[in-house]
């Protein structure tokens, strides 16, 4: 039988002459069935006494010469005892298995969402703190990976990137949360090993040092006067910063506050136990300047139940501003204070405590202004809340802030020892 030629094949394609198969010899056939626009090559051979066939490519992919070379190569493998058609079927089946596994694989991002929803969302006071870490640090680094694909090198890369951007404390938090997320996966029988297991705090941000930063009177003057002058820094942000200072409270205690907690007529903030770090509810006296700031925020909140409602629809529909909103806003103000040493919102409570001491406030009263428990034996027996004393101290502190903002002399009179 005569061998095929490229001239013949092109003529058949041009004329649309279809056929089941035409031999080139050596088991190589050109097939051009009906409804096919391009013919393809098929190799026929016998293996273990049975007729077998293998499609090795289309005429577009393999010219006559390349098809002959491919057929010769595959025939040699058959002679060595390989079932080349069976191998192709196995490769195809393996590819399909991988596609199916990929389709049903659990990603780190999905595991993190399940952990967040089942373990954190309705149990923690401030669930958006973890959500922020997931969205900003964990998911961008390893969220797309299947949970069984995550190796220690992925964890290390994630942590080092956080450290390199100057956030060692965040790196420590991310390590802790990532470990908890994978531990949850192990408990749920989703995986067997935790890729964070070999890591210690020293491998992340290192041992966290106690901060000592607080803002002096001169720094407060510059900060308070810079806020209204900063482009993109809203009046709501300015009032929030002032309230954080004057109330000596934690950031999320104010960010998550509802108007129902505030009695503006009696000038009291009833901070409930479930939103306080130490679990102790406290009535916080509202100084006169702070009362005016709150009334302004009430108008801005547009009938929202939240003192600081979310400014846009956020992931998970958290209705109040996120814990990350204020640090971002603060960074805008700090860009206008290049010669003032770095400070964070976490330093506001230390700032308030330091100035209360400078104003002559009794240490026990100052500690209760921060809702710190009284230490030692005295704390066990002394359940007095020092409300009137705290009210007087916070009025003094608020007056100082107003005076500093106006650039007036720092002539706020300290409390007399006998009064506090």
- CATH number of domain containing 371: 1.10.443.10
- Same-domain status, 160 and 289: no
- Same-domain status, 138 and 35: no
In whole angstroms, give the CA distance from residue 206 to residue 140. 22
The SS3 of residue 266 is coil
pTM of the model: 0.57
**Alpha-carbon distances of 233 from 139, 149, 277, 300, 324, rounded to whole Å:** 29, 43, 29, 15, 15
- Same-domain status, 172 and 319: no
CATH code, 55: 3.30.160.390
Q: Which of 48, 70, 102 is the last residue of a domain?
A: 102
Is residue 241, in this structure, part of any structural domain at all? yes
Is residue 58, in this structure, part of any structural domain at all? yes
Is residue 411, in this structure, part of any structural domain at all? no
* Residue, of 393 and 78, whose pLDDT is higher: 393
- Same-domain status, 150 and 40: no
Is residue 67, in this structure, part of any structural domain at all? yes
**Mean pLDDT, rounded, of the chain:** 86
- Same-domain status, 151 and 231: no
> How many residues belong to the chain?
420
Using alpha carbons only, give the angle 380, 381, 385 rounded to the nearest 5 degrees.
95
- Same-domain status, 290 and 397: yes
Is residue 168, in this structure, part of any structural domain at all? yes
Q: Return the biggest CA–CA distance within the chain.
A: 121
In whole angstroms, give the CA distance from residue 317 to residue 175. 26
Among 221, 254, 248, residue whose Cα is nearest residue 236: 254
Confidence of residue 409 (pLDDT cuts 50, 70, 90): low
Average pLDDT over residues 325-349: 90
Is residue 414, in this structure, part of any structural domain at all? no
In whole angstroms, give the CA distance from residue 280 to residue 390. 16
Contacts of 196 (CB under 8 A, 6+ apart): 152, 155, 175, 178, 179, 182
**Alpha-carbon distances of 212 from 188, 300, 347, rounded to whole Å:** 42, 35, 8
Q: What is the pLDDT of residues 56-93, one digit of tens each?
A: 899 988 999 999 999 999 888 888 888 888 777 777 76
Average pLDDT over residues 19-41: 92
- Same-domain status, 325 and 401: yes
- Same-domain status, 237 and 327: yes
- Same-domain status, 114 and 137: yes
Whether residue 45 has pLDDT greater than 80: yes
Residue 384 has a pLDDT of 75
- Same-domain status, 366 and 234: yes
Domain residues for the domain of 224 are 217-406
Residue 311 has a pLDDT of 72
In whole angstroms, give the CA distance from residue 386 to residue 298. 28
Among 385, 388, 362, residue whose Cα is nearest residue 373: 385
The count of structural domains within the chain is 3
- Same-domain status, 97 and 116: no
* Residue 356, φ and ψ in degrees, nearest 5: -60, -40
CATH code, 128: 1.10.150.130
Q: Which of 102, 137, 155 is the last residue of a domain?
A: 102
Is residue 416, in this structure, part of any structural domain at all? no
- Same-domain status, 32 and 55: yes
Q: What is the pLDDT of residues 242-271, one digit of tens each?
A: 999 999 998 888 988 999 999 999 999 999
* Residue, of 375 and 307, whose pLDDT is higher: 307
30 strand-pairing partners = 22, 41
In whole angstroms, give the CA distance from residue 175 to residue 155. 8
Is residue 176, in this structure, part of any structural domain at all? yes
Helix (H) or strand (E) holding 232: none
Q: Which of 80, 102, 124 is the last residue of a domain?
A: 102
Residue 337 has a pLDDT of 92
């Amino acid at each position: 039988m005569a061998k095929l030629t490229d001239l013949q094949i092109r003529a058949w394609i041009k004329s649309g002459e279809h056929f089941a198969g035409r031999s080139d010899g050596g088991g190589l056939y050109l097939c051009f069935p009906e409804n096919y626009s391009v013919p393809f090559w098929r190799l026929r051979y016998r293996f273990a006494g049975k007729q077998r066939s293998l499609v090795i490519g289309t005429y577009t992919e393999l010219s006559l010469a390349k098809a002959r070379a491919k057929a010769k190569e595959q025939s040699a493998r058959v002679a060595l005892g390989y079932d080349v058609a069976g191998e192709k079927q196995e490769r195809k089946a393996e590819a399909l298995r991988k596609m199916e596994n990929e389709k049903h694989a659990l990603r780190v991002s999905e595991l993190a969402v399940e952990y967040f929803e089942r373990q954190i969302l309705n149990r923690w006071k401030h669930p958006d703190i973890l959500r922020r870490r997931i969205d900003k640090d964990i998911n961008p680094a390893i969220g797309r990976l299947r949970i069984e694909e995550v190796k220690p090198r992925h964890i290390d890369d994630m942590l080092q990137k956080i450290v390199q951007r100057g956030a060692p404390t965040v790196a420590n938090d991310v390590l802790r949360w990532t470990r908890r997320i994978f531990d949850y996966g192990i408990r749920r029988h989703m995986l067997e090993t935790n890729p964070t297991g070999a890591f210690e705090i020293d491998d992340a941000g290192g041992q966290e040092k106690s901060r000592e930063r607080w803002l002096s009177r001169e720094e407060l003057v510059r900060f308070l006067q810079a806020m209204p002058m900063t482009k993109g820094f809203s009046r709501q942000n300015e009032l929030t910063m002032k309230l954080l200072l004057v109330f000596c409270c934690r950031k999320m205690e104010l960010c998550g506050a509802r108007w129902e907690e505030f009695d503006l007529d009696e000038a009291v903030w009833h901070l409930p136990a479930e939103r306080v770090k130490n679990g102790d509810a406290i009535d916080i006296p509202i100084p006169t300047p702070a009362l005016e700031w709150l009334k302004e925020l009430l108008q801005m909140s547009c009938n929202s139940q939240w003192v600081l409602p979310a400014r846009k629809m956020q992931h998970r529909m958290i209705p109040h501003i996120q814990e990350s909103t204020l640090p971002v806003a603060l960074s805008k103000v700090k860009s206008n204070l290049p010669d003032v040493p770095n400070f964070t919102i976490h330093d506001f409570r230390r700032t308030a405590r330091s100035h209360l001491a400078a104003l002559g406030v009794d240490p026990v009263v100052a500690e209760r202004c921060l809702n710190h428990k009284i230490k030692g034996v005295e704390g066990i027996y002394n359940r007095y809340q020092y409300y009137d004393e705290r009210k007087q101290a916070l009025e003094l502190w608020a007056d100082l802030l107003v005076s500093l903002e106006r650039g007036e002399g720092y002539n706020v009179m300290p409390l007399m020892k006998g009064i506090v």
